[in-house]
Structure 1
Amino acid sequence: MKSIASAPGKIILFGEHFVVHGTKAILAAIDKRVTVTSTFTENKTIKVNSQLGTLEVPISSSYEEVKSEFRPFVYLANKIINSNQNVNGLEVTIDSDIPIGVGLGSSSACCVAAAASISELFKELSSEEILNISIEAEKTIFPDTSGADCTVCTYGGMIEYEQFTGTKKIDNTFELNLVIANSMIPHTTKNSVERVSKFKENDEERFSQLCDLETKLIDEVIVAMKNNDVTTLGLKMSENQKYLEEIQVSNDTLRDMISSLNEISLGSKITGAGDGGCIIALIKDENMDQIPALLGNDKECFSAKIDTKGVVWSKIEQ
């Protein structure tokens, strides 16, 4: 028996960093996906195949004993196998078209797809049950995860997230032509978060003002979305970028990339932690073919649409 599930990656359209300090954020699923295939084996092991390598451990192994990138899969395999008898072993294969480690939700999409794929071998779960298990799995890598990334990867579309009130789906009736461009600069979320915290400590009054401005901006974005107002949406992306510049999570490379796209984009900004990773830009269809020349050959870029399917899964009898 084989079970296959896939889940989309994500971007943060608005609110990164400020959301940690109480503002809202808007996240969107994108049409780049992770596919996880699970099968029973007779080997009394949990085997994981991925772009990051292969892991094979005894069925009773603790997730804490393996490298962090494999922990969610060992955790999920053991959790689900331990609640079902007569299973000797499990093999899990991950195929991804989401770039790894650039803030596009590859780990969350993996957790969601793996939760759906492994569970489906035993019984079909609801999307809500898959979400809850996937958040547990993600906590084996990121103990403080909010669950927002897994939520948008599970349900697709766009969500509004707030730290103390949770998530709310945003009804969206128009397509966004997005370009995602990778700066090719490695970064760590931890360092970026610490830099923002230091900015706040040094100037609490200004940081509070920026949080208020971000809240107002996101309220205006939600109205623009309801009105299918793509022009305002682009302007708000560029406005949000100014706030990210001020809290010092940008750099010369990201600024140059954004500047290069200004003449053809409706708006552009960092998505995610900053200091590297990716920018996103809202581009009209007729301008899409100009992007590679503007960014240069040393940058990875691709177009993206909002994914509305979320996680999907199926079981194949062999």
Structure 2
Amino acid sequence: MSRLIHTSAPGSTLLLGEHAVLAGEAALVCALDKRIFVTLKPRDDQSISINSELGYYQCPLSLFTQPNTKAQLQDQLKNTPAKFRFVLAAIQQASQINNNRLQLGFDLTIRADFKATVGFGSSAAVTVAVLGALLRHTQQKQQEVNLNLLFNLAYRAIRAAQNNQGSGADVAASVYGGLVHYQPQLSSPHAQLQQHIQTLKPKFHYPHIHLIYSGYKTPTPVVIAHVAEQFKNKPNKLTAIYQAIAQCTQQGLKALTNNAGVIEGLATLATAMTTQQVLMTKLGVNNDTLQNIIDHLTTDRNIFAAKISGSGLGDCIIALSHTATPPRLTAEHAAQGIQYLPAAICPTGFCYDH
């Protein structure tokens, strides 16, 4: 019972397609070279423990092994600490497959290259890393993980933990790595989502990106609710914005995959990013803090474009550059908690660490 299982999954950030991806449009999402690491240690009793920088949590295995309906599983999660909800949702999903091979408990130790407060798709990354460990834990014999299965389980876990919200774009980046073209295909209101996932191989090297943390983060469900409220009487206007964002994503995809030169490709990508930033403002997810960061970045001659990355109303700004040299921030920025977060696009998705 002493075999340790080590896994890791990358954080992520959206390049193009925010919000529209929730309506079934495509997005471009980047896996980052900042990872979450999970160690699973089997136990010989019926207890589960979780230990991370967020704290410690313990519960009985029986919480997850009893037959439950989908509604009961979601109610179960609502009664758990919010900071452990994604980990527990991952355990839930693992308990529903393979004839429930979670026969004995385990200890999970979680550490990260980055703080959960800065975003970076930490919820998706930890969900993927935990599920990967549990899939290996329940195998009769050691084998490589089925990435498509891992994605589907993690996607369901994320939505269960977020009251059926979430596009799955960050999950795709954490599972497959690199730069991902992702599109959930909504065939009907009641149909299961069928995703299109393509890991891109740009004609030139991965573009240099720079991430600036705004000093605070508004939870994604809160931002989504804010947008819904803003447009509750203007559905056609919201649809038009989503379609325009989708066009930005398509423009960015072409920039990354066509045969143009590096500078021309970056210029086209920059145009798509700048256009989407205007659309993010129209959605109502921009504010003075974010706009001031963007305005500052665009005075840097090395920066081609800058926009909100993620849902908005806080979190990160992503900047596109032709160089790895970080943009300069001011003492005033530092006083506001605004900080540069070193990160780069990384080709490695989920993996078992040895």
Instruction: Give the TM-score normalised by the residue count of structure 2.
Output: 0.80
Equivalent of residue 11 in structure 2, options 9, 12, 34: 9
- Take 2:111 and 2:35, find their aligned partners in 1: how far apart are those partners? 9
Q: Amino acid of the residue matched to residue 352 of structure 2?
A: W
Check conservation: 1:69, 1:141, Cα contact below 8 A: no
Measured on the aligned residues, the alpha-carbon RMSD in Å equals 2.4
8 Å Cα contact 1:4/1:313 also seen in 2: yes
> Is residue 2:168 matched to residue 1:147?
yes
> What residue in structure 2 maps to residue 250 of structure 1?
286
Compute the displacement of 1:22 (Å): 4.0
Separation (CA, whole Å) in 1 of partners of 2:323 and 2:331: 16
1:134-173 paired onto structure 2 within 5 Å: 134-142=154-162, 143-164=164-185, 166-169=195-198, 170-173=200-203
Query: How far 1:102 sits from its partner (Å)?
Result: 4.1
Structure 1 segments of 4 or more deviating over 6 A? none
Match of 1:308 in 2: 347
Identity between Structure 1 and Structure 2 (%): 25
Kindly state the Cα deviation for residue 43 of structure 1 after the two structures are TM-superposed.
Answer: 4.3
2:229 aligned partner: 198
Residue in 2 aligned with 1:94?
110
Work out whether residues 148 and 167 of structure 1, in 8 Å CA contact, stay in contact via their aligned partners in 2.
no
Q: How does 1:269-284 map to 2 (within 5 A)?
A: 269-284=307-322
Greater displacement, 63-72 / 278-287: 63-72
- Report the residue type matching 1:313 in the other structure: Y
Partners of 1:103 and 1:271 within 8 A in 2: no
State how far apart, in whole Å, the 2-side matches of 1:314 and 1:277 are.
29
Which shifted more, 167-176 or 12-21? 167-176
1:107-128 Cα offsets, whole Å, 9 max, x none, are: 1100111111222233233212
Q: Distance in 1 between matches of 2:131 and 2:296?
A: 40
The farther-off stretch of 37-46 and 26-35 is 37-46
Mean Cα deviation higher: 179-188 or 132-141? 132-141
Q: Unpaired segments of 5 or more residues in structure 2?
A: 65-75, 186-193
Q: Assess if the C-alpha contact under 8 Å between 1:46 and 1:77 holds in 2.
A: no
Deviations 1:80-115 (A, max 9, x none): 597337x54200011112331444210110011111
In structure 2, what residue type is equivalent to 1:171?
A: K
1:70 alignment counterpart: 84
1:262 positional shift: 0.6
TM-score, normalised to structure 1's length? 0.88
Amino acid at match of 2:149: E
Residue aligned with 1:234, SS? helix
Equivalent of 1:129 in 149, 157, 162 = 149
Q: Can you give the 5+ residue segments of structure 1 that lack an aligned partner in the other structure?
A: none
- Tell me the distance in 1 between the aligned counterparts of 2:90 and 2:33: 25
- Residues 19 and 25 in structure 1, CA contact (< 8 A), matched pair in contact too: yes
Per the alignment, residue 106 of structure 1 pairs with: 122
Cα separation, 1, equivalents of 2:19 and 2:305: 19
| Displacement of 1:248 | 1.1
Per-residue deviation, residues 264-316 of structure 1 (Å, max 9, x unmatched): 2110100111111111111232642x42348732312223221211001146x
Number of residue equivalences:
313
CA distance in 2, matches of 1:155, 1:283: 24
Distance 1:194 1:115 in 2: 29
